[in-house]
Amino acid sequence: MPDVIFEQLLILMIVVWTVAVILNRIGIPTVMGELVMGVIVGPSVLGWIHPSEIIDVLAELGIFFIMLHTGVTTEPREFFAALRVSLGVAIVGALVPFGVSLAVALAFGLPFISAVFVGLIMTATAVVVTLKILHDLGLQNTRVARVIIASCVIDDLFALVFFSLVLGIVNDGATNPAALLLVAGKAALFFAVVTAFGYYLYPKFKTAFSDRRGKALTFLLILGLGFGMLAEILGLHIILGAYFAGLFFEEKVASAELVQKVEDRLGGIAYSFLGPIFFISLGFHITFDALKGQALWFVLALTSVCAIGQVLSAGSMARLLKFSWTESWAVGIGMCARAEMAVILASLGLSLAVIDAKTFSIIIFTTFLLNLITPIGLKLCSKGIDRTKPLNGEIHAHEII
């Protein structure tokens, strides 16, 4: 068994390195190659690698480290300022994809509750995939990236809250407002706890962070896992905990040199090792059953309306915030990707028999296509994105827009 694991890990690392060398030279985000290679080396084509518990664990760690690294590279004030101005982008950018996806699912004959599940699944964004694309294009420190990240976080919270409500309807046969309020309350509690911890308790750990014997990176991992466990206990996703643990690790609690060192080490793990394994593993879920007969038209229709609805809705709201036309398109396109959260919600729907295996395959293939559209679109917009706005130090909402 260990020999098989290391053999598959060797194949994965060769794929990661080859994709990076080829695509970086021609300026294409590597996530595109990783997604495609996941299909090629996975069960659907060559069958060199099959989903396994070990790969699933490595993929989950990849998500964790990408979010932790992103938090470290973001100033808390930048994120919360972006969160305030992103609310409209997030709300409209969630309602429109939900509505059009629901309509397509109904048009293809799905029962109403199944169609609602499809709509909610297609509302859940893929912040980790988008972060990787922005990182590959050198856009991770732009105001566009900040608004995309904040909007994706809000949309995923919306999706989790309303998904929980729909689960209550499925399980109980009726709406349960108390359950909805409970989920919303848990999300609010999580934000309150981690924010208070970050602002008031992180400075207390300055010695642990700054002392070389304090193992700053290890201590940050402890906080990331702790915040992640809190998120999981409250019914949220561990990636939120990882992001906020890194968010408050700044020069107030550690030297600039140490922050940079931790950032570099996390970046290497996130983008050269574990992160790419996650993106490749997404391709393992692809089955070509979703390309036969009416299912193919379902995939194409769902992909088209979701992409167009997302770009027009979120992009229009970004334009109202006085982003340039190119930046507005980039915000809409940046929110098109669908991955980890959509897969999780789709798996839950399948396990509850709310959607069948065929619909599950259609959803997974749709997310795959949306993940290919996103890097192409952001690449086309990248030259028109303003990279000159200062992002270090305190900024306010009006400075983002």
Identify the weakest region by mean pLDDT among 161-165, 209-213, 340-344, 349-353. Answer: 209-213
Q: Are 315 and 331 in contact (CB under 8 A)?
A: yes
If one counts every other C-beta atom within 10 angstroms of the C-beta of residue 177, the result is 9
Q: Which alpha helices (H) appear in 270-356, and where do they start and end?
A: 275-282, 294-320, 325-334, 340-351
- Beta carbons within 8 Å of 315's beta carbon, 6+ residues apart: 328, 329, 331, 332, 333
Whose CA is closest to 85, among 144, 30, 126, 4? 144
Q: pLDDT value at position 218?
A: 84
Choose the most confident range, by mean pLDDT, from 73-82, 297-306, 354-363: 297-306
Contacts by 153-157 with C-beta closer than 8 Å and gap 24+?
153/83, 153/127, 153/240, 153/243, 154/83, 154/86, 154/87, 154/90, 154/91, 154/94, 155/90, 155/93, 155/94, 155/123, 155/124, 155/125, 155/335, 156/124, 156/125, 156/127, 156/237, 156/341, 157/187, 157/236
What's the maximum distance between 2 C-alpha atoms anywhere in the chain? 63
Choose between 83 and 169: higher pLDDT: 83
Question: 285 is written with which tokens?
Answer: 């879920």
* 346-373 burial code (b ≥16 CB/10 A, e <16): bbebbeeebbeeebbbbbbbbbbbbbbb
- The model's confidence at residue 301, banded by pLDDT at 50, 70 and 90, is very high
User: Is residue 166 predicted with pLDDT exceeding 80?
Assistant: no
Residue ranges of the alpha helices (H) in 42-111? 53-72, 76-107
Asked if residue 78 lies in contact with residue 395, where contact means CB atoms within 8 angstroms, the answer is: yes
pLDDT bin (cut points 50, 70, 90) of residue 202 is: confident
- Which 3 state secondary structure label does DSSP give 73? coil
- Residues 6+ away with beta carbon under 8 Å from 167: 348, 352
Give me the phi and psi of 97, to 5 degrees please.
Answer: -60, -40
Q: Return the residue matching tokens 């809190």.
A: 230
Please give the mean pLDDT across all residues of the chain. 80
User: Is the pLDDT score of 147 beyond 90?
Assistant: no
The mean per-residue pLDDT over the stretch 117-128 comes to 83
Rounded to an integer, what is the distance from CA 377 to the centroid of its chain?
17
Q: Which of 249, 232, 296 is nearest to 76 (CA)?
A: 249
> For the residues 10-39, what does the mean pLDDT come to?
83
Contact status, residue 119 vs residue 363, Cβ threshold 8 Å: no
Residue showing tokens 């988008």: 130
pLDDT of residue 167: 63
CA-atom Rg of the chain in angstroms: 20
| Region 96-117 average pLDDT | 91
Instruction: Indicate if the pLDDT at residue 394 is higher than 50.
Output: no
pLDDT tens digits, one per residue of 247-256: 888 777 777 7
Ramachandran bin of 186, using left for φ above 0, alpha for ψ from -120 to 50, beta for the remaining angles = alpha
pTM: 0.72
Instruction: State yes or no: pLDDT of 128 exceeds 80.
Output: no
Of residues 283 and 120, the one with the higher pLDDT is 120
- Grouping H, G, I as helix, E, B as strand and the rest as coil, residue 77 is helix
Q: Which domains does the chain have, with CATH numbers?
A: 2-400 (1.20.1530.20)
Look at residue 380 and give its three-state secondary structure.
helix
**H or E segment and range at residue 188:** helix 177-196
Q: Residue 306 — pLDDT band, cuts 50, 70, 90?
A: very high
pLDDT of residue 121 exceeding 80, the answer is yes
pLDDT of residue 401: 39
- Decide if pLDDT at 395 tops 70: no
Q: What's the confidence (pLDDT) of residue 168? A: 58
pLDDT 10s digits, 210-248: 656 657 788 889 989 999 898 888 877 777 788 888 888
pLDDT of residue 340: 64
